């Protein structure tokens, strides 16, 4: 028994070291909210179009000059089964609200409708940022959600990254980085 006890202690110690090195992932659910609380028109206000929810700056009218440059998006593949088009980089001032549309389509096949999308933060949310999830309309066979980011008036200038996770119908598909640069006033 005296020879087995040190072996058990070593095994337990190794287990504790390995399990603590793996760490735990902090996930924070993003609550539902309205899509925009801004008083003045902004380029990333959400507007309805025949193709679904869109950024105001990306909706163009014939013979009317654009007020803002188009909002750039990227497309990323998650879990070998979905593509997500979203804003990876957002530049803003403190005290503003920014919107980020997550348009999601399957690699093969289509969504049938009725799938619930839940966005979450994988990791801590920087102090001064508040996140909400708004509803969005998408093209048939696709689904969408809106991440609403409220930047505090007191937010210090700098670059911040939040990792947004996507859960569809109880299945986690992974996370995407959303980089937010708060400008000097």
- The span from the CA of 76 to the CA of 165, in Å, is 13
CATH of domain 25-182: 2.60.40.10
Burial class (CB in 10 A: 0-12, 13-18, 19+), 14: exposed
Under a CB-based contact definition with an 8 Å cutoff, are residues 173 and 163 in contact?
no
Predicted confidence (pLDDT) at residue 173 exceeds the cutoff of 70 = yes
- Classify 1 as helix, strand or coil: coil
Could you count the other beta carbons within 10 Å of the beta carbon of residue 180? 21
Contact at 8 Å (CB) between 46 and 36? yes
**In which element (H, E) is residue 21 found?**
helix 4-22
What is the DSSP-derived secondary structure letter of residue 32?
B
The predicted pLDDT at position 18 comes to: 38
| Span 20-63, pLDDT tens digits | 344 445 788 888 876 554 557 899 999 999 999 999 999 998 99
pTM, 2 dp: 0.83
pLDDT 10s digits, 73-99: 999 999 999 999 999 999 999 999 999
Tokens of 142: 């696709």
Checking if the pLDDT of 2 tops 70, the result is no
* pLDDT tens string 102-131: 999 999 999 998 899 999 999 999 999 999
| Alpha-carbon torsion (121, 122, 126, 127), positive or negative | positive
Beta carbons within 8 Å of 2's beta carbon, 6+ residues apart: none
């Amino acid at each position: 028994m005296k020879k087995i006890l040190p072996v058990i202690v070593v095994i337990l110690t190794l287990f504790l070291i390995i399990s603590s090195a793996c760490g735990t992932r902090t996930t924070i659910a993003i609550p539902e909210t309205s899509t925009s609380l801004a008083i003045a028109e902004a380029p990333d206000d959400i507007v309805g179009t025949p193709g679904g929810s869109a950024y105001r700056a990306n909706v163009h009218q014939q013979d009317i000059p654009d007020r803002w440059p188009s909002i750039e998006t990227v497309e990323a593949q998650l879990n070998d089964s979905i593509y997500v088009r979203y804003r990876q980089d957002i530049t803003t001032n403190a005290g503003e609200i920014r919107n980020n549309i997550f348009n999601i389509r399957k690699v093969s096949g289509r969504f049938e409708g009725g799938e619930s999308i839940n966005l979450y933060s994988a990791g801590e949310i920087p102090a001064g940022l508040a996140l909400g999830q708004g509803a969005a309309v998408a093209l048939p066979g696709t689904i969408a959600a809106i991440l609403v980011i409220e930047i505090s008036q007191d937010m210090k200038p700098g670059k911040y990254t939040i990792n947004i996770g996507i859960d569809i119908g109880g299945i986690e598909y992974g996370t995407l980085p959303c980089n937010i640069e708060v400008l000097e006033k």
